[in-house]
Amino acid sequence: MNVIFTCGGTGGHINPAIAVANAYRRRHPDANILFIGAKECMEEKLVPAAGYEIKCVGSSYGLVRGLDPKSIANNIKGVFRTVKAINDCKKILKEFQPDVIMGTGGFACFPALMAGSMMKIPTCVHESNALPGLTTRMLASRVDRTLICFPESAAQYKEPKKLIAVGMPIRQEFVRPDRLKARKELGIGEEELLVVSAFGSLGATRMNEITAELFALEKRDGFPFRHIHATGKWGWEWMADRALGLGVDLSKCPSIDMREYIYNMSTVMAAADVFISRSGASTCNEIAATGLPTILIPSPNVTDNHQEKNARVLVDKGGAVMILEADSSAEAVYAQIKQLLSDGGRRDAMRTALQKNMILDSAERICDILDELAAGNA
């Protein structure tokens, strides 16, 4: 069996694909698995780190709205880039001969699935958000199956017969993890308090600025907890200097561990007492599976404000608190951290609420669909 997964651009696209690939490898140890991603994107690191081969093509469309000369020129170039990416994907498919292709969104997903459809290879696409993204909308009429997280999302699609509600695939290591084992691996004592913050694989400038100010508040109070923070790609080069300008020399603060990206996120989340993050669909499902009390700060820079809608699901469950970015400040976030860290009973209740009614076999359900597509029975 030869299976291709295509994804990329952000962890929210990459991690679900890796979760399904892991499940498929457990089910079919002899299966040949290949990823297709975009050049110079983070999948070039994350996919090999997960143990899979990846081949990368040039980024596809990158279309923008507008009728001004700059937008028109960009879109013309985008069309040519997409055509080239489709042709590059066709070459990969001819060489690998996949039985089925699954996409989870991102720059490479469209050309890979389009090439597969044109070559009559069974295809499916997974949409993680309640509202379908551009890639999913463009592919819905071409793929054999469209996999959605929420049954309520079906009204957003024109071909309901192709839809299957499967939930969000997450890696097995996020499901009810071993907290003590994770802490031992990270060298964190059982009684120490740990806060983890991350705002997407690329980072968020405003959230990194607030986190630098948080470091200063932590220093003021004698570092009352340990803090692991992921800056993302866009914040790594400048954030240490920003903290230094606020009086925090990170080279002399062992309680603060700042990284560009948290590659062992499941372990870090398992060890944490409080998590601070955006509210993309993948992240929210990992939070729920882990049962981690979280302060959610939805990104306002997303289509149809879907991150706030995702966050409200966890807030309504009683598993998270939300601060809108417009209302966010270091002081507001710090106040929520202190409230949660001071109330172990509340954190326990939040953990229980998060894990209630959680779909934990999404990856297995998708593997069933991949097998059916490959066998021609779907």
**Model confidence pLDDT, tens digit, residues 166-211:** 989 988 889 889 999 999 999 999 999 999 999 987 789 999 999 9
Same domain, 243 and 99: no
How many C-beta atoms lie closer than 10 Å to residue 71's C-beta?
13
Tokens 């690998």 belong to: 96
pLDDT confidence tier of residue 351, bands split at 50, 70 and 90: very high
Give yes or no: residues 158 and 242 share one domain: no
- Give which of 221, 212, 230, 258 is closest to 338, Cα–Cα: 221
Quick one: 125 and 180 in the same domain? no
Do 115 and 93 form a contact (C-beta atoms < 8 A)? yes
pLDDT, tens digit, for every residue of 59-103? 655 555 556 777 666 667 767 888 999 999 999 999 999 999 999
The candidate with the shortest Cα–Cα distance to 302, out of 179, 375, 202, is 202
The pTM score is: 0.74
**Total structural domains in the chain?**
2
Same domain, 215 and 104: no
Task: Enumerate residues 6+ apart whose C-beta is below 8 A from 28.
Answer: 1
Percent of the residues in the chain that have a pLDDT greater than 90, as a whole number: 70
State whether 46 and 160 are in the same domain. yes
CA 180 to chain centre: 25
pLDDT band at 55; cut points 50, 70, 90: very high
Confidence of residue 329 (pLDDT cuts 50, 70, 90): very high
Q: Two tokens at 46? A: 């994350």
Based on the fold, state whether residues 335 and 274 are members of the same structural domain.
yes
Residue 358 has pLDDT above 70, yes or no: yes
Same domain, yes or no, for 208 and 322?
yes
Sorted by sequence, the CB contacts under 8 Å of residue 51 that are 6+ apart come out as: none
Same domain for 218 and 247: yes
Rounded to whole angstroms, what are the CA distances from 165 to 116, 307, 336?
22, 20, 35
> What is the domain-level CATH number for residue 237?
3.40.50.2000
Q: Domain containing 337: what range?
A: 176-355
Residues 8, 145 within the same domain? yes
What pLDDT score was predicted for residue 248?
97
pLDDT of residue 142 exceeding 70: yes
Indicate whether 143 and 187 sit together in one domain: no
**Same domain for 244 and 164:** no
Per residue in 10-38, pLDDT (tens digit) is 778 898 999 999 999 999 999 999 999 99
Backbone angles phi, psi at 296, to 5 degrees: -100, 130
Measured on CA atoms in the order 214, 303, 266, 242, is the torsion positive or negative? negative
Q: What confidence category does residue 235 fall into, taking pLDDT thresholds of 50, 70 and 90?
A: very high
Confidence band, pLDDT 50/70/90 cuts, at residue 117: very high
- pLDDT classification of 224: cutoffs 50, 70, 90: very high
Q: Which residue is associated with the tokens 């879109």?
A: 75
- Whether residue 157 is found in the same domain as residue 52: yes
Q: Report whether pLDDT(122) > 90.
A: yes
Lookup: tokens for 269: 């989340």
> What gap in Å lies between CA 126 and CA 123, rounded to an integer?
10
